[in-house]
Amino acid sequence: MKSRRLLPFLPALTLLAMLGPVIAGLYGTVMPAFGHLPAAGLTGPSLDPFREILAWQGLPRAMWLSISVGFISTLLAFTIVALVVAGWSGTRVFRVLEGALSPLLSVPHAAAAFGLAFLIAPSGWIARIISPTLTGWDRPLDLLIVQDPWGVSMMAGLVIKEIPFLLLITLAALGQIDTRRSHAISQALGYGRLTGWLKTVFPLVYMQIRLPVYVVLAYAMSVVDVAVILGPNTPPTLSVQIVKLMSDPDLTMRLQAAAAALVQLALVVFALVVWRVGEIGVAWFGMRWVARGKRGKFDPIVGKFALFAGATSAIAIALGLAVLCVWSFAGFWGFPDALPEQLTLRNWMRHSSGINQALCETAMIAVVVTLVALLLTIGCLEVEHRHGLRVSTRGMWLLYLPLLVPQTAFLPGLQTLLLNIGADVGRLPVMFAHLVFVLPYVFLSLSDPFRAWDKRNSTVAAALGASPDRVLWRVRLPMLLRPILTAGAVGIAVSVGQYLPTLLIGGGRVETLTTEAVALASGGDRRAIGVFGLMQTAAALVPFAIALFVPAIVWRNRRGLKNG
């Protein structure tokens, strides 16, 4: 009975949890950006904060970095994914690559970035392995690879992390489209596999994955942790500069930070508009290309190149994790030795207590937030089911909105706002901030299987006299155990990886594995980074393993349910 009264409120509550902090944060950003910050005794409106941020000599470069890193990394990752799927979907090679990339989706951005840095630096693992036998280097070259001023290594870090995400999104979209017949017809007409796919299936797929692609673009333009680890420092990206300004002892710097946050927001909006215009352009050229009827003689080369790029990104993440692992056990490890002189457990012992604390904090936040997200999501989906509602495109936009607004645009405002109303920083506000990012992913991950559930089960159960609540608890949820656990794992992985919300809203008091790992970046202790990076990855990966094994055990005697 209780849940029936509560149910209708859940969608509203979900929207509030997802959008409330974003809107409040933007409000908290706009006010100081125009010189209004009562906490510092300043009342606006004034344009001085914008004048000051425009006077910063680093601004043009920082803005350009945001734009170039965002566009190039998104375009690269997206092109590689589209070409790999176009050229290889349905083949055995593709299944291998898919199997390799899927678990990498949950590797936190910070850990992947550290791994990449330890690989490609002039003294990285790659240089160590090929030196001195192949190169003759007995010292690392004085080359600016990591933290290069053009942001190339930062782009690489983002590309390898976004490829698994875009690939899985594309695969999910493919599941909703009948590709078999398009494929058969285009092949019968003599089109190459890749060209045929791009001409017939791609437009349908892109319609489905447009919003996630926008999310990737907005994320890449405003990411902080990857930029701190791999990005340049002279000057840093705009988002890193915002975080630096936020931590200046001079409170008036927050005005500049807020103004810069609005510049960042405008940049992202601008980039999304440009991308949208680009879509129209691509569509126009695409129509012409389709009409010309070229069958695609370069297909094999392009396909192989894309596969190579996809495989490289998977290998880069895997090798990155491997080198984190080696560093975490390393004794002295000079250049150009391929492996440390001795392996030791000392690094792990040294950090064991710190790790335990951070792990508990991380787990507590992730589990609570994910449970709340699951509850709200299931509630929304159940309301949708019982009232026969359908989610419109506009509804999907609402779902993606918190992921499209750059974190650096609203989180500083949220922190200032919390401060102004005297709310304590700490674990609870951090949980609310995490919920903003966890909810959309949990919702997206669970909604398809929830909606795809065969409604005849519910009809049968109702015919046997079960109430709607009983149907939900006794039939639907148990049958959906696997997708629910998977959505939970997604939620935990998202929460574990959050850096900026934990840092800003936690006021430094909330120390998770991610904030600890990124804080270690400035100290440069590679052994400590290895230990924390690995633990962070494990915290995100273990729930996926649970989501895989628990249904197999619970439903060992129900063959039809084992695979969801």
Partner 1 sequence: MKYLGILAALCVPIASYAEPNPADWDAVREGATGQTVYWNAWGGSTTTNDFLAWVGKRVAEDYGVTLEHVKLTDTADAVTRVLSEKQAGEDDDGAIDMIWINGSNFAAMKDADLLFGPYAEQLPNWAIVDSAGKSVQTDFTVPIEGYESPWAMAQVVFVHDTADMPERVGSMEALLEWAQANPGRFSYPQPPDFLGTTFLKQVLVDILPDPLVLAAPATDENYEEVTAPLWAYLEELTPNLWREGKAYPATGTAMFPLIADGELDLSISFSPGAASTAIANFELPDTVRTFVLDQGTIGNASFVAIPYNSGSKEGAMVVANFLMSPEAQARAQDPAILGYGTVLDMAAISAEERAMFDGLDLGIATLTPAELGTVLAEPHPSWAVRLADDWASRYGVAQ
Interface with partner 1, residue 247, by CB under 8 A? yes
Interface with partner 1, residue 522, by CB under 8 A? yes
How far is Cα 87 from Cα 522, in angstroms, rounded to an integer? 42
Side chain identity, residue 164? P
How far is Cα 77 from Cα 112, in angstroms, rounded to an integer? 15
Q: Where are the alpha helices (DSSP H) in 453-525?
A: 456-463, 468-470, 477-479, 481-497, 500-505, 513-523
- Contacting residue, 4, 139, 294, 558, with partner 1 by CB under 8 A: 139
Interface with partner 1, residue 126, by CB under 8 A? no
- Contacting residue, 46, 91, 233, 459, with partner 1 by CB under 8 A: 233
The dihedral through the CA atoms of 236, 242, 244, 245 has a sign that is positive
Q: CB-side exposure of 426: number of CA atoms within 13 Å?
A: 4
For residue 428, the minimal CB distance to partner 1 (Å) is: 14
For residue 252, the minimal CB distance to partner 1 (Å) is: 10
For residue 144, the minimal CB distance to partner 1 (Å) is: 5
For residue 325, the minimal CB distance to partner 1 (Å) is: 16
For residue 342, the minimal CB distance to partner 1 (Å) is: 8
Contacts 24+ apart (CB under 8 A), 454-458: 455/385
Interacting residues with partner 1 between 381 and 400 (CB under 8 A): none
Interface with partner 1, residue 11, by CB under 8 A? no
Interface with partner 1, residue 52, by CB under 8 A? no
Contact 345, 463 (CB under 8 A): no
Interacting residues with partner 1 between 328 and 367 (CB under 8 A): 330-335, 344, 350-351, 353-354
For residue 357, the minimal CB distance to partner 1 (Å) is: 10
- For residue 314, count other CB atoms closer than 10 A to its CB: 22
Closest by Cα among 558, 557, 393, 551 to 487: 551
Contact 213, 166 (CB under 8 A): yes
Interface with partner 1, residue 237, by CB under 8 A? no
The dihedral through the CA atoms of 127, 525, 503, 265 has a sign that is negative
CA max distance for the chain: 79
DSSP string across 281-294: HHHHHHHHHHHHT-
- Contacting residue, 208, 375, 420, 428, with partner 1 by CB under 8 A: 420
- Contacting residue, 130, 144, 277, 282, with partner 1 by CB under 8 A: 144
Interface with partner 1, residue 528, by CB under 8 A? yes
For residue 412, the minimal CB distance to partner 1 (Å) is: 12
The residue whose two tokens read 């506009």 is 394
Interface with partner 1, residue 249, by CB under 8 A? yes
Side chain identity, residue 517? A
Interacting residues with partner 1 between 292 and 321 (CB under 8 A): none
Instruction: List interacting residues with partner 1 (CB under 8 A).
Output: 39-41, 56-58, 61, 122-123, 138-140, 142-144, 147-149, 232-235, 246-249, 251, 330-335, 344, 350-351, 353-354, 419-420, 422, 424-425, 507-509, 511, 516, 519-528
